Amino acid sequence: MLKFHSRLPPRMPVRVATVLVAMAAALPAWADGGQWPAATPLKAYTQECGACHTAYPAGMLPAASWKRVMGGLARHYGTDASLEATASAPIAVWLQANAGTYKRVSEEPPQDRITLSAWFERKHRKVEPAVWTLPSVKTAANCSACHGSADMGIYSERGLRIPAGMDPRQARAWRD
């Protein structure tokens, strides 16, 4: 009968745990691949905010931006999106708890607009301004016009679809 001897150092489990923690810390970098770190969406957030636009993943903005967005609902980008305090308070708490904290969103975008953030502009630099005004798109904030899984927080380039109305030249640039 063979006898096996462990050749692993006695502290190996701690080293393995350290590596796992380091890998978990690197997960936000994975978000640049098109999927935002999952935060179980708050039902009230999805219902209230998703009634008018994409219920964006909380990680798309830093906490300070979400605080200003929630504090300014009476003048929410030209619309009165006011909510009762009993409805807005849990949403504000959830957004703060799940706000982006990694490099991509460390900079607060102008006017706290996701579509004006440096990462958004970098990712969409090849999209011509005319594309945002197509009837099938309407605005840069209409993520689902091109990202079919935007409602699930998935913005992968592999899942892109060309919106209706793009001319052949725009479509070629889209694929580059």
Reported as a single tens digit per residue, the pLDDT across 52-89 is 888 899 999 999 999 999 999 999 988 999 999 999 99
Q: Note the pLDDT of residue 37.
A: 55
Distances (CA, A) of 46 to 51, 53, 54, 108, 156: 8, 10, 8, 23, 21
Which pair of structure tokens corresponds to residue 153? Answer: 């927080």
Residues of 146-155 as b/e, b for ≥16 C-beta within 10 angstroms?
bbeebeebbb
pLDDT category of residue 153 using cuts at 50, 70 and 90: confident
Percent of the chain with pLDDT over 70: 77
Spatial separation of the C-alpha atoms in residues 47 and 155, rounded to whole Å: 21
**Of the candidates 124, 130, 125, which has an alpha carbon nearest to the alpha carbon of residue 166?**
130
Write out pLDDT tens, residues 18-52.
443 444 444 443 344 455 555 678 899 999 988 88
Strand partners, 160: 147
| 55 close to 49: Cβ distance less than 8 angstroms | yes
Q: Note the pLDDT of residue 16.
A: 45
φ/ψ of 26, rounded to 5, equals -85, -10
Q: 3-state DSSP call for residue 163?
A: coil
Given a cut of 60, whether residue 142 has pLDDT beyond it is: yes
